[in-house]
Amino acid sequence: MSMIPGCVPISMPARLTFQSKPLRLSFRKTSWLCPRSPLPAQRWYTAQATSTREARSFAYTWLTKTPDEIVPDDVLATIPPIPASVAESGHIPILLVTPSFAPWIDPASPFLEQCVNKFLSNTPNVRSLNPLHAIAAIIDKLPDVRGQPGDALISSNGQAQSDSEGVSLLFVKAENVQGKAAESRRIRSSGTEEPALLFSVNTNAPDRPAHEVGLRLANTIFINGNENTLFGMRWSYNATSSRFALDQYLDFSNCVITSPANSVHNAFRFPLYPVSRRRKVISGMGNILRQVAKSADDDQSNVPMPASSELERELPRYIEEHGIIDQRVSVWALVETPDMNVPIETSFLQDRLSHSLRAGGKLHHVMSGGGGWGKKQGLLSLDPEISFLEATIREELLTIDQLFEPRAESADPILGLPPFLSKGFGDDLSTLSQTAKPGDYVQFFVAVQPSDVHDKRPDIAKPQEGSISCQFGIVTGIPEVQTIDGQQKDLVVLPNYFGALSEKAITYQQPILDVQANEQVFESGTKLNVPGCRVELTLA
């Protein structure tokens, strides 16, 4: 769809702005990003250590650019036996694979059975172990961070991160895994929630929200006939074969995996470019942004203008100046509250965005708007979603042990009604909350190729020894040039690393320290679907 001057196009799936000539990231208005000023220190969330290093979660990831050349033995040969203390303390494997490796996690495939027994090969009392549970899912891609020492989000030569095929493995305690059994296909309704996998990091600090990343799974309808693939398994020891064998598996609709940590460090990467100035919100309703302040320099001025006015003027100019071939440009709105302690005047855009998110700022995809007349003139519709798991659904989750008990069932919503109706009218009015309230501030951005981001200043320090790096994000969508010989196998093993990428979206919930309210901690969340964006949690 070509750009129509005077209106903001309805954005379908998020799109990068591809250019026919190199993108020049030079600001026409220097007031958008003013001279550099000191930034607050990056934030660590710590708690008193409550567990030994050996019995804590650990991770492994296998990355490859030649998935067709990789066979199960290539991965099995590099799978480390888990420490006996981990197996005996009830840790279970979480296995994520990209679509190229989907056949490997078919319940009938020997790969899973070989993995489970390899994990337990160093466990002396394996016969006395209770049945072992496991979780498996198919994701879209994995973040490829090899060759990027000290900075997992951007390499030393300035090249941005890429996507990869492969396998990612994480061990967590069984008691920290909760799920909900999927409805059978014959009773599944159009209102059934889309499956999501959530990774939560808890520092054991009392009354402190967890860091939590929600992940939309890969569409596997053309792989195995299921829209998504997420399931749990129970493995029991077979005395005859002296091996663990698959006893039962169960499809999940949602799964929450919690990993404890003594401290958590978060880092972000957003391949975005500003196409507007930061303006005060004057009026709106729900997820509709109606008016913003005409003046971007005077905070006291409330003279309004239609919310889309600046975009209608700047987007066509941006497309023309940068020779963008596909003119269907996706736009995001960064919404900030007036009490947020975020430095606005900085020459580093990544710092600007990262510190805004850490302070509670939210990114919303602009779904449609612009044009119109009368009361509908200049309206913008923002995506209001910030979480994949509603509180009512979270209450229905069971531990993995409970899910595999005889006749164990999650409490299903009322059949035939979508989730937001099945919980009853008036139970939850969160969907009617304001996405951008009067007095908030909003600034608009477009996505660019990660390699075109002019701001190369890294947002992340080298992880501490013994820590685990968990990285999540959105597939870049950039076709890669094959640099590997077709006859050569490309396989890299990364210990203490876990991650996943989605083609659709992720969500991120985090604790925010409110220094203006006696340092009270509250929870803030946002949905991210910017191609190439990354959220990294370093667990120590």
Q: Cα angle at 350 between 344 and 354, to 5 degrees?
A: 75
Compare 130 and 492 and report the one with higher pLDDT: 492
Asked if the structure places residue 341 within a domain, the reply is yes
Last residue of a domain, one of 426, 445, 464: 445
Same domain, 234 and 298: no
Q: What's the pLDDT tens digit per position in 316-364? A: 999 999 888 877 789 999 999 998 877 776 668 888 999 999 999 999 9
Band of residue 57 on the pLDDT scale cut at 50, 70, 90 = low
Domain-located, residue 342: yes
Task: Select the more confidently predicted residue: 263 or 465.
Answer: 263
Domain co-membership, 111 together with 249: yes
Which amino acid appears at position 480 of this protein? E
The predicted-structure confidence for 398-408, as pLDDT tens digits, reads as follows 999 999 987 65
- Shared domain for 177 and 253, answered yes or no, is yes
Same domain membership, residue 219 and residue 141? yes
Q: Number of folded domains in the chain? A: 2
Show which of 415, 445, 475 is a domain's final residue.
Answer: 445
Is residue 236 located within the same domain as residue 286?
Answer: no
Lowest mean pLDDT among 144-148, 187-191, 268-272: 187-191
Question: What confidence tens digit (pLDDT) does each residue in 251-261 have?
Answer: 999 999 999 99
My answer on whether 170 and 91 are in the same domain is yes
| Residue 281, in any domain of the structure | yes
Of 348 and 143, the structure prediction assigns the larger pLDDT to: 143
Q: Considering the domain boundaries, does residue 109 fall inside one?
A: yes
If asked whether residues 292 and 365 sit together in one domain, one would say yes
The pLDDT tens digits for 113-125 are 999 999 988 888 7
Domain boundary among 399, 416, 445: 445
SS (H, E, C) 427-482: CCCHHHCCCCCCCCEEEEEEECCHHHCCCCCCCCCCCCCCCEEEEEEECCCCCCCC
- Mean pLDDT (whole number) for 164-175: 96
Lowest mean pLDDT, pick from 150-159, 206-215, 424-433, 448-457: 150-159
Q: Does 415 have pLDDT greater than 70? A: no
Looking at residue 264, its amino acid is V
Question: Are 248 and 368 in the same domain?
Answer: no
Band (pLDDT 50/70/90 cuts) for residue 516 is low
- In order, the DSSP letters of 282-341 are EEEETTEEEEEES-SS-TT---EEETTHHHHHHHHHHHHHTTBSS----EEEEEE-TT--
Task: Specify the pLDDT at position 154.
Answer: 39
Lowest mean pLDDT among 76-80, 354-358, 478-482, 530-534: 478-482
Return mean pLDDT, the chain: 80
Residue 413: what pLDDT? 45
Residue 417 in any domain: the answer is no
**Domain interval for residue 457:** 59-148+159-185+192-269+451-539
Those residues whose C-beta lies under 8 Å from the C-beta of residue 120, and which sit 6 or more positions away, are: 81, 82, 87, 126, 129, 132, 244
What is the distance between the alpha carbons of residues 118 and 238, in angstroms, rounded to a whole number?
Answer: 15
Mean of pLDDT values over 214-235: 96
- Mean pLDDT is lowest, of 6-10, 132-136, 235-239, 449-453, for 6-10
Q: Which pLDDT band, with edges at 50, 70 and 90, does 159 fall under?
A: very low
Are 136 and 251 in a shared domain?
Answer: yes
Q: Are 96 and 242 in a shared domain?
A: yes
In this prediction, residue 169 carries a pLDDT of 97
**Residue 223's pLDDT is what?**
96
Comparing 177-181, 366-370, 375-379, the range with the smallest average pLDDT is 375-379
Quick one: 262 and 276 in the same domain? no
Is 164 part of a structural domain of the chain?
A: yes
Q: Please report, to the nearest 10 degrees, the dihedral formed by the alpha carbons of residues 215, 220, 226, 231 taken in order.
A: -50
With H, G, I as helix, E, B as strand and everything else as coil, classify residue 397: coil
Tell me if 476 is assigned to some domain.
yes
My answer on whether 248 and 286 are in the same domain is no
pLDDT at 194: 85
Alpha-carbon dihedral sign for residues 15, 16, 19, 25: positive
In a domain? residue 440: yes
pLDDT score for 481: 55
Mean pLDDT, residues 295-315 taken together = 92
Q: Say if residue 533's pLDDT is above 60.
A: yes
Least confident of 146-160, 437-451, 476-490: 146-160
* Residue 12 pLDDT exceeds 70: no
Portion of the chain with pLDDT greater than 90, in percent? 53
What span, in angstroms and rounded, lies between the C-alpha atoms of 9 and 384? 18
The number of helices, as runs of H, and strands, as runs of E, in the chain is: 9, 27
CA 267 – CA 43 distance, rounded (Å):
9
Residue 452 has what pLDDT?
58
CA atoms of 356 and 350, how far apart (whole Å): 10
